[in-house]
Amino acid sequence: MNDEPQVRTSDGSRSGWLPSRREVLGLGGALALGGGIAGALSWHQRHESGLRSRVFIGRADHYEADIESVLSEAFGALGITAAEIKGKRILLKPNLVETARGALHINTHPRVVAAAVETFRRFGAGEILVAEGQGHRRDSWLVLEESGMDGALADARVPFVDLNHDGFGVVPNGGGATPFATLCIPDTVRTADWVVSLPKMKTHHWAGITCAMKNMFGIMPGTVYGWPKNLLHWAGIPESIVDINKTVPTALSIVDGIVGMEGDGPIMGSPKAAGCLLVGRNAAAIDATCARVMGLNPYGVSYLTAASGRLGPIHEENIVQCGATISSVRAQFDIVDVPHLESVRGRSSGNA
């Protein structure tokens, strides 16, 4: 079809700036084993010169907690004002990858989404939409029903848009990590004033972790990229994560870490409670902080290494932590024992 993403280079080569697996393993392995730490961190300091981002961690031990109050505190800590939001079209993008009735650890919990809706509404948002283009089940309405999201959206009086079947426009690829010269972005996403990533905190059997940045896979229409976004997987998951986030920057990320997933994520893993919500304006900084909360090594996550200095900071000295401390919510997440994730496990570096 004419609107398929186009290959940028005639020889099929990539841009060359994404770090190789050997570089990622070397950097992550040095940190995990305790050797070469100064050199590894100085690499990020050079790439992140002048970058600073604030990440808020809020305690929420269960889904009956006052999540809306936590988000209001986060907005204040991040300097988000009503003047920024008043009259804006807000797109909330949760993670609705798959469903199993009663399984709270697979998808973003409906109460987190509902709290985000009410928070943006109180700050004067003009329109609020919830949208997803899930990568596995093609029946979006079944996913909404089995996840409990349909009832929450009905109560909140918020419409849902199926991004897999939305109209789309072809835009230049802002990242240059994959061979795609253009990306097909749904109209609902392109016309939003604020795109807000609302992921679940999970491990991922290919990417290592899936939080704010990987969650953006779900904006890509299945009618173009297939199920489960096959073209993006073939182009490279870390590369695609970088390209999507560079092309469609998020204004805010709210990570559901109240009950996350460990092990064989993003679908087959086990529940893991961290009892927290993470909120920030920069998705790379949020994901690096999530990795530290999960007891994992952010420098071993290849898409974060690629994002360092290009999409935001991941070095802890460049992330201003507010709210609860990392150490107060840290929960060691198990991760599948496969060679390509060896750099992700091991000692995490993070603020106390």
**List of domains in the chain:** 21-341 (3.40.50.11440)
Q: How far is 308 from 287, CA to CA, in rounded Å?
A: 11
Residue 9 has pLDDT above 90, yes or no: no
Residue type, 92: L
pTM, two decimal places: 0.88
pLDDT tens per residue, range 280-338: 999 999 999 999 999 999 999 999 999 999 999 999 999 999 999 999 999 999 999 99
From CA 9, how far away is CA 11, in angstroms rounded?
5
Residues 6 or more apart whose CB falls under 8 angstroms from that of 145 comprise: none
Please return the burial class of 157, using the count of CB atoms within 10 Å of its CB with bins 0-12, 13-18 and 19+: exposed
208: left (phi over 0), alpha (psi -120 to 50) or beta: left
CB-facing half-sphere around the CA of 293: CA atoms within 13 A: 37
Q: Look at residue 115 and tell me whether its pLDDT is greater than 80.
A: yes
Q: How far apart are CA 25 and CA 14, in angstroms?
A: 20
Q: Is the peptide bond before 228 cis (omega within 30 degrees of 0)?
A: yes
pLDDT, position 90: 98
Model confidence at 216, in pLDDT bands (50, 70, 90)?
very high
